[in-house]
Each structure stands twice: as structure tokens, then as C-alpha cells.
Structure 1
Amino acid sequence: MSVGVFLITHDDIGISLIDSLQQMFANKLPLNIKALPVHHNSDPLAFCYYAEEIYASLEEGDGVLVLTDLFGATPCNIAISLLNHYHVKIVAGLNFPMLVKIMSHVFTFPDATLDTLVDKALTGGCQGVLDVSLLYPKSST
């Protein structure tokens, strides 16, 4: 068994991130991962139904890590609708370093728990945000 990863994002953000992950990991992702693109003109209740279907396809007994792009927005609210009925943990603020950290960890530890992957998501998300100009200051020439 393993933890599934479910991206619920505005438009095609999640799909694009998964495509980038597949390129980076040569199409050998260590986890079952899917995305639900939420479009601004759509009915949020219909997306709650789709989210339940995708959750069911990802759940193998160890839970599902749900990642969403923006806390308080419609994709996050759809994710929250899963909390009371399903074995999920939700992390908002999705970014690419977060996904890379999760996938890299699972390559080394394929039986990583849902709680461990939440920690990896938070760590990767924070460590991946840098003020690069401080690392490479302008030269005085």
C-alpha cells in the first residue's frame, strides 16, 4: 500500500505540475498522483463529487495527501469537503519544490506515511522559496 497524492488547483496548474514531475523523474513517479483542475465558471458542488471519485481511485489504505494552491479559494474548499469522510491530510500553498521533495522522499522510503509526506510537503515548500538575489549579489563593476 502507499499514500496517494491529489492536486486540486485552479485551472490546469496541477496538471502542469504533474507533467513537469514526469519529465523530471523520467515518467517513473513513485506515487499514484492525480489532479483535479477547477475552472472558475463551474459548479463547486460538482467538483466535490469529482474529488470524491478521484480520492477513491487514489486510496489504497494509507490515505491521500491533498495539495491545493491557495488556502480559502474554491479548490481548497473542495479539498476541505473531503476531511470529514475520508482519510486525507490537506496542505495549501502548493509549489513545485514541494512535489519534488515528496517524490524524492518516496523513492528512498516507499512506505512513507501520510504524516511524513505532509512534513516533506511543508519542508519542501518552504525551502524552495528563496530570495535568489541574496545568494548572487550584484558585482560592484
Structure 2
Amino acid sequence: METSILLVTHDGVGDSLLYTAKKLLSSSLDECIDSYAISYDCVPTEEVVKLRQRCEELDKGAGVLLLTDLYGATPSNVAMQLKGDTNRWLVGGLNLSMLLKVLNYRHLEGEALALKAYEGGRDSVIKLW
């Protein structure tokens, strides 16, 4: 049983990252991976309820790893409300490298997969000048 993955992002970001990852990996992404867009004019308390419900739908028994795009922004703040829920792991700063790392380590369980997400995002930041 694999940990489900939910990208919690501003409008369009998660869908774009999933589309690109699918093209780069030349594979389809299963039903245990999805994105959840939070609009700029949302009501955060309502989004917490909807996001919790989406996690319950996506969870196939091994929990859900939530990847958010920008720490401190609304998607991240909404996702943080689920941090205390059972089998929910949260990593901020989502980028393509992080997502690809997670998809390549799908066999890992929740906390180990969350650590791979963190490492994938962190290790992709490189000084180029």
C-alpha cells in the first residue's frame, strides 16, 4: 500500500507540476496522486473542511503526504490545519525536483517519503553564479 500524495497549491500550480512530471517520467500517474487548488479569494476555514475530505477520499490506508507550494501562503496555512490528523505529513516549498523525487520513491512509507520530498526540494536549490 502506497502513501497517497496531494499537492496543495495556488490555482494551476499543482496541475502544471503533475502534467510536467507525467511527461518527464513517461508514465501515467495513478489515482493516489492529485492536486488541490486553493483560489486567491477562498474562505480558509471552508477550505480546511474540503481539504480534509479530499485527503480522506485519496487515502487508501497508508496516509497522505501533502506538498504545498509556498510556506506561509494560504495553501500552506490551510494544509497546516491537517498536521495533527493521523497519517498526514506536510512538506512546504514544492518544486518539480521535489515532486519527481517523491514519485521515484513511492515505495517508501509516509514519514520516509516526506523526508525524500524535503531532500528533493532542498537539494535542487543550486548557486549558479
Q: What TM-score does the superposition give when structure 1 sets the normalisation length?
A: 0.83
C-alpha separation in 2, matches of 1:85 and 1:95: 24
Counterparts of 1:85-96 in structure 2, within 5 Å, are: 85-96=85-96
C-alpha separation in 1, matches of 2:66 and 2:92: 8
1:47 equivalent to 2:43? Answer no
Superposition deviation, residue 120 in structure 1: 0.6
C-alpha separation in 1, matches of 2:35 and 2:50: 11
SS of the residue 1:132 aligns to: coil
C-alpha separation in 2, matches of 1:79 and 1:101: 21
Query: Does the 8 Å contact 1:8/1:36 carry over to 2?
Result: yes
Superposition deviation, residue 31 in structure 1: 7.2
Query: Does the 8 Å contact 2:10/2:38 carry over to 1?
Result: yes
Unpaired runs of at least 5, structure 2: none
Q: Which residue of 2 aligns with 1:56?
A: 56
Q: Which residue of 2 aligns with 1:32?
A: 32
Q: Which residue of 2 aligns with 1:117?
A: 113
Bigger Cα displacement from structure 2, 35-44 vs 91-100: 35-44
Structure with higher Rg: it is 1
Residue 50 to residue 74, structure 1, CA distance change in 2 (3 Å)? same
State how many pairs are aligned. Answer: 129
Q: Which residue of 2 aligns with 1:138?
A: none
C-alpha separation in 2, matches of 1:40 and 1:113: 32
Residue 46 to residue 58, structure 1, CA distance change in 2 (3 Å)? same
What percentage of residue pairs aligned between the two structures are identical? 31
C-alpha separation in 2, matches of 1:50 and 1:93: 22
Q: What TM-score does the superposition give when structure 2 sets the normalisation length?
A: 0.90
Counterparts of 1:1-141 in structure 2, within 5 Å, are: 1-29=1-29, 32-106=32-106, 110=107, 112-133=108-129
Across the aligned residues of Structure 1 and Structure 2, the Cα RMSD in angstroms comes to 1.6
Bigger Cα displacement from structure 2, 16-25 vs 80-89: 80-89
